[in-house]
Amino acid sequence: MSAPLLLQASGDRAGLAATLQQAWQRGRTVAIAAPEEAALLQGALPERSDPNWGPAVVLGTGGSSGGRRWCLQPLAHLQVAVAGTAQWLEGLGMAPGQLELFNPLPLQHVSGLMPLLRASAWGAELRWLAPEHMREPEQLLASARPIAPDRAVLSLVPTQLQRLLEVPAGMRWLEQFALIWVGGAALPPAMAQRCRDLGIRLAPCYGTTETGAMVMALSPQRFLAGVEGCGIALPHVRLRVDPGHGALQVQAASLALGLFQQGVLDPLPLDGGWWSSGDRAEQGEESWQLLGRLDGAIHSGGETVFPEQLEQRLLDLAKSQELPVLELLVLPEADALWGARLVALVKPSSGSGLAESLLLERLQALSLSLPPCQRPRRWQPCPELERSALGKWERQRWGRWLESQPAHDS
């Protein structure tokens, strides 16, 4: 068997997709990475593919917490997820083969790969959206209007959605879609409410590379009715919560085979067919709620702090006082007494006119309304703070940035 074929995801995505599909037709395993990660992926791959895998793909996973890992997904497993998604759509009264699928996401991410597989399996039309156009809503209105809005489906991450909501042209473009899957990172409540107010038909969803993308989704009808969270399990999936740790567990035929490290495939750890995602979750009456990463939890003063939830609370407090905060990230800092104390990185909004020092003082004062273990010890300005292309926080990256800064108490 030949070595996995390494493809770099840059430039023409349609051409890359054609190369990928031709390789799959020959039974090849294909690894896809952004150019800056190609050498890293090459070092993780084996010298030979295993014929038992069949056609397969290797994609990156776990970049937001923990080290970078490389996930092996057989094409047959991804096709199970494609079929389950089709059943979910049919339950909403949508015919998958008649859809127009819009994809602005890169092929080295499972959320950017799946629209290609869905279109191929369903006979649906696939429209590639140039990434740069996602920052140019007027261009989207001019060249990327759905032919039939009642059959148009879009996949987005929250960062892209936020940019589009900031300008009238972006809002008008979003209003033309029958369904907009949004996943990859938590959907801020304020953004969700903005979409409800505008009648934008979001379908918040959750999935991972290891699960073959989506395993749960909320219908646009339930979203517009005010239901929070990521909906219900897709037809091909069973979900439960690990009672010991609160982790979301998944059982599905779309689960990956394993993760590569230095040429060795480590099988996906399963407990009776169940895989623990590492995401804390709870099942509500109408929808699953994702509560944050278990491996990202911060233990401070005998309490467990989930930074994603705390970040949202702090942003809500800032908004309530109209403070100019564009981004906010909470990180741990070692402390002999507390075990860890919290540091908040803050990216101020540009052109606010409020002095940086005064902004940080006001944020610190607002945090006094929170329990002591949730109050950041320091507030660190970070004008360059930004999320990844998929809207996720690369906490290790910003932790290293924080370590490079001179420490001082606020």
Confidence check: pLDDT of 65 > 80: no
Mean pLDDT of 226-244: 95
pLDDT tens, 166-187?
Answer: 999 999 999 999 999 998 777 8
Higher pLDDT pick, 336 / 300: 300
pLDDT in tens, 20-29: 999 999 999 9
pLDDT band per the 50, 70, 90 thresholds, residue 410: very low
* pLDDT greater than 70 at residue 66: no
Query: Residue 74 pairs with which residues in a beta bridge?
Result: 56
* Confidence category of residue 392, pLDDT binned at 50, 70, 90: confident
Q: Quick one: average pLDDT of 267-290?
A: 93
Confidence of residue 330 (pLDDT cuts 50, 70, 90): very high
**For the chain, what are the domain ranges?**
5-293, 298-403
119 pLDDT band, cuts 50/70/90, is very high
Q: Contacts for 64-68 with beta carbons within 8 Å, 24 or more apart?
A: 64/293, 64/296, 64/388, 64/392, 64/393, 64/394, 64/395, 65/278, 65/293, 65/295, 65/296, 65/395, 65/396, 66/295, 67/396, 68/37, 68/40
Least confident of 174-183, 224-233, 291-300: 291-300
Could you say which architecture CATH assigns to the domain 5-293? 3-Layer(aba) Sandwich (3.40)
CATH of 298-403, one of 2.30.30.140, 3.30.300.30, 3.30.1300.10, 3.40.50.720: 3.30.300.30
